[in-house]
Structure 1
């Protein structure tokens, strides 16, 4: 009986190791929201898992988040990938949403709409 239990525990340990390895080496893009304009932070970093957001939200077009506007109009299917958000959202132009407001509006409004994800300061920002 002890051999059987030991065998079952061994198999479970191997399965756990396999699941851990797949997760650890899957290439999931995990990190924090970064932008060169955030040189002086007033709150902690925001953790962001790009792959999880793409899969869970069912986002198929990068321009859903990486949008491009011209003359105040959204250019559908145009993407700002590879650009930092601050390249447009530094608030120099009166009609462009300032950077922090842009992040909060983009992230919070999606979390509220999808009824998923944090919407409070402490829910997103890690304690510094």
Structure 2
């Protein structure tokens, strides 16, 4: 019975992640459904609340694009794509894997701005 409840909750969580990932305005957590066996629950992330609190108006701050030589394309945004559209699970050349890309982008900004969560359990709440 416990195993059935566990799998039911897992499937429900994945379905909820897929549904909420389709609209960033309604986003409440980062979709981790592309990982085979996530070690932690999805990171809580309320897209609009975050951007308002952080004073972010430029989507390209987070939704970045790079050219073939690895230079960030200023004024270009990938907001119509998911992170997994560009990032593989593992590193590919100089392009970080998906988990590393999430952490570099989110934690990197939080550390640079000295604001926001940086500890695992602050984002990945059980």
TM-score by length of 2: 0.71
Cα distance between partner residues in 2 of 1:36 and 1:76: 30
Q: In the TM superposition, what is the alpha-carbon distance from 1:123 to its structure 2 partner? A: 1.1
Number of the residue aligned with 2:75? 77
Matches within 5 A, 1:1-128: 29-71=26-68, 72-90=70-88, 91=90, 93-127=92-126
Cα distance between partner residues in 2 of 1:29 and 1:50: 7
Radius of gyration: which is bigger?
Answer: 1
Alpha carbons of structure 1 residues 94 and 74: separation in structure 2 relative to 1, 3 Å: same
1:35-79, CA deviations, whole angstroms, 9 ceiling, x for partnerless residues? 552342111111111112211211111011000011111001111
Cα distance between partner residues in 2 of 1:85 and 1:40: 18
TM-score by length of 1: 0.70
Corresponding residue SS for 1:70: coil
Q: Is the 8 A contact 2:32 2:38 kept in 1?
A: no
Larger strand percent = 1
Q: Is the 8 A contact 2:29 2:45 kept in 1?
A: yes
Q: Structure 1: which 5+ residue stretches go unaligned?
A: 1-27
Corresponding residue SS for 1:32: coil
Corresponding residue SS for 2:45: strand
Higher relative contact order (CA 8 A, sep 6+): 1
Q: Is the 8 A contact 1:36 1:86 kept in 2?
A: no
